[in-house]
Amino acid sequence: MHEPETSLRFIKSKLRKEPDEVVIFRDGTYLTLKEVFESLDLTGYDLNVDLLDVHADKSTFHRFDKFNLKYNPCGQSRLREIFLKQDNLIQGRFLGELTKQVFSDLSASKYQMAEYRISIYGRKQSEWDQLASWIVNNDLYSENVVWLIQLPRLYNIYKEMGIVTSFQNILDNIFIPLFEVTVDPDSHPQLLGWTWLTMKANLKDAQQSTCLQWTNVFNPAFSYYVYYCYANLYTLNKLRESKGMTTIKFRPHSGEAGDIDHLAATFLTSHNIAHGINLRKSPVLQYLYYLAQIGLAMSPLSNNSLFLDYHRNPFPMFFQRGLNVSLSTDDPLQIHLTKEPLVEEYSIAASVWKLSSCDLCEIARNSVFQSGFSHALKSHWIGKEYYRRGPDGNDIHRTNVPHIRVEFREAIWRDEMRQVYLGEAVIPKEVEKKGNGFSKADRSL
């Protein structure tokens, strides 16, 4: 959501202005912000970006465990709880204030929008009300921002801790409040305000049984999570549609790490996905994602720090082949260095892969398609007919994408769909029996 320098300035400011604020309860004692830093043998003068140590480096490559430690400023989980959590002793006030600063920067940039992720863990049903209260009490509304809910796959941890007894408990804690507020808006008045809610399940990495029967200590397979999230969302969205409410999209993380099967599961269930770099390993799935035009929000700089060298990233290949790809940030606090993380993504991609202005405009147009913003805003940004295929849906005065580019994409896609559905493959008229086996027409290409 923000780069390290913003976090550093905010922490120093709070330490200077509110040193006596009681911020945490540890080991049977309430501690003020000043006492927390004294226990860590730190002062505001000592703090700098290097000491904060939240930026990913070469030590995190293929080491997601080490990357997760970067969420802890100065390597201290208590600082993460104080400054980066919304369900803490101070009800997330510091995180709310920091978020409003980021909102202000977005508004100043004018042409940048964001989808910020926040977690619902499924430990208890009250999580939704706590999160909605945090949004309302801190006035965290912005025309530039849509909130995305991520669902971490942590069943095995909660089972071991005794928080849940079966996988069904987690699903109930996640979805029952959403069904309740849809049927009876008065049951969760603050949650009702999230009419723009977009679901983005953060499923990073089966047996045929009901969730009530999944009571062992092992984490269910990725496809198991995906299926039950999809099934519950499908029913919930039908109910919301019947009441004239907005529906919730399912946009999981998939294809960054783990098995190829993850991408097969999300192909069958998802509106869009984040990452998808493992499609490079499966031409068949890559082709299916192309035909279905399932959106891929790709983050090459994040991949470069964790899983895949920048020069090996398949983004330019996917883009040339016509997959519905866009550029996005992922974990700016750990990955990016400036207050313009999205500009970093675009500028580096344009420089390394030699993308033209037409390419960048097409990628930006794709990002609007994939986003969770309202139909009205999308119409304002890229044209009233944006949802139509081909040149009819391209308002060149708003998108800056030439009609000939859109016509080319549409013609190729229709040819591929025709071959799949009608079997109308292009067969050479002449076949050379001797030599290299290519026809004259083939050699002339």
Q: How confident is the model at residue 211 (pLDDT cuts 50, 70, 90)?
A: low
Q: Residues 6 or more apart from 163 whose CB is under 8 A from it?
A: 123
- Chain-centroid distance, C-alpha 281: 22
- How far is residue 197's CA from residue 248's CA, in Å, rounded to a whole number? 6
Residue 22 near residue 32 (C-beta atoms within 8 A): yes
How far, in Å, are 13, 410, 433 from residue 427 at the CA level?
70, 22, 15
pLDDT the model gives residue 194: 61
pLDDT over 50 at 445, yes or no: no
* Mean pLDDT of the residues in the chain: 84
The angle at the Cα of 116, spanning 24 to 324, to the nearest 5 degrees, equals 155
Q: What positions carry a catalytic annotation?
A: 275
pLDDT the model gives residue 68: 61
pLDDT the model gives residue 8: 80
Q: 155 or 5: which carries more pLDDT confidence?
A: 155
Feature table: binding site for Zn(2+): 253, 330
Domains and CATH numbers, the chain: 1-92 (4.10.800.20), 109-250 (no CATH), 272-373 (no CATH), 374-444 (no CATH)
Neighbours of 108 (CB within 10 A): 10
What residues form DSSP beta bridges with 149? 118, 199
pLDDT the model gives residue 291: 96
pLDDT the model gives residue 424: 67
How far, in Å, are 22, 48, 74, 195 from residue 38 at the CA level?
14, 16, 13, 44
Q: How confident is the model at residue 217 (pLDDT cuts 50, 70, 90)?
A: confident
- How far is residue 308's CA from residue 317's CA, in Å, rounded to a whole number? 15
> Looking at beta carbons, which pairs linking 87-94 to residues 24 or more positions away fall under 8 Å?
87/127, 87/130, 87/131, 87/134, 88/23, 88/24, 89/22, 89/23, 89/24, 89/25, 89/30, 90/21, 90/22, 90/23, 91/133, 91/134, 91/137, 92/134, 92/138, 93/138, 94/10, 94/14, 94/23
pLDDT the model gives residue 70: 61
Mean pLDDT highest for which of 65-69, 110-114, 198-202?
Answer: 110-114
Q: How confident is the model at residue 52 (pLDDT cuts 50, 70, 90)?
A: low
- How far is residue 404's CA from residue 359's CA, in Å, rounded to a whole number? 13
Q: 314 or 14: which carries more pLDDT confidence?
A: 314
| Residue range 429-437: mean pLDDT, rounded | 51
Chain segment 138-181, per-residue pLDDT in tens: 888 888 888 888 898 889 999 999 999 999 999 999 999 999 98
| Residue range 92-100: mean pLDDT, rounded | 90
How far, in Å, are 57, 279, 297, 333 from residue 62 at the CA level?
11, 18, 21, 18
| Residue range 409-422: mean pLDDT, rounded | 92
- How far is residue 178's CA from residue 246's CA, in Å, rounded to a whole number? 12
> 392-404 burial by CB neighbour count: b if 16+ within 10 A, else e?
ebbbeebbbbeee
Q: Could you write out the three-class secondary structure of 5-30?
A: HHHHHHHHHHHHHCCCCEEEEECCEE
Tokens representing 11 are: 């922490």
Please, is 445 exposed, middle or buried when counting C-beta atoms within 10 Å of its C-beta (0-12, 13-18, 19+)?
exposed
Q: How confident is the model at residue 246 (pLDDT cuts 50, 70, 90)?
A: confident
The amino acid occupying position 248 is I
Chain segment 310-364, per-residue pLDDT in tens: 999 999 999 999 999 999 998 887 777 788 889 999 999 999 999 999 999 999 9
pLDDT the model gives residue 15: 85
| Residue range 191-202: mean pLDDT, rounded | 56
Q: Which of 48, 60, 116, 66 is nearest to 86 (CA)?
A: 116
Helix (H) or strand (E) holding 353: helix 341-353
pLDDT the model gives residue 118: 87
Q: How confident is the model at residue 41 (pLDDT cuts 50, 70, 90)?
A: confident
Chain segment 113-144, per-residue pLDDT in tens: 899 888 899 999 999 989 988 988 888 888 88
pLDDT over 60 at 200, yes or no: no
Q: How confident is the model at residue 396 (pLDDT cuts 50, 70, 90)?
A: very high
| Residue range 179-186: mean pLDDT, rounded | 88
| pTM of the full structure | 0.86
Task: Provide the pairing of β-strand 198-199 with 253-254.
Answer: unpaired
pLDDT the model gives residue 191: 78
- How far is residue 92's CA from residue 289's CA, in Å, rounded to a whole number? 39
Q: How confident is the model at residue 207 (pLDDT cuts 50, 70, 90)?
A: very low
* pLDDT above 70 as % of the chain: 83
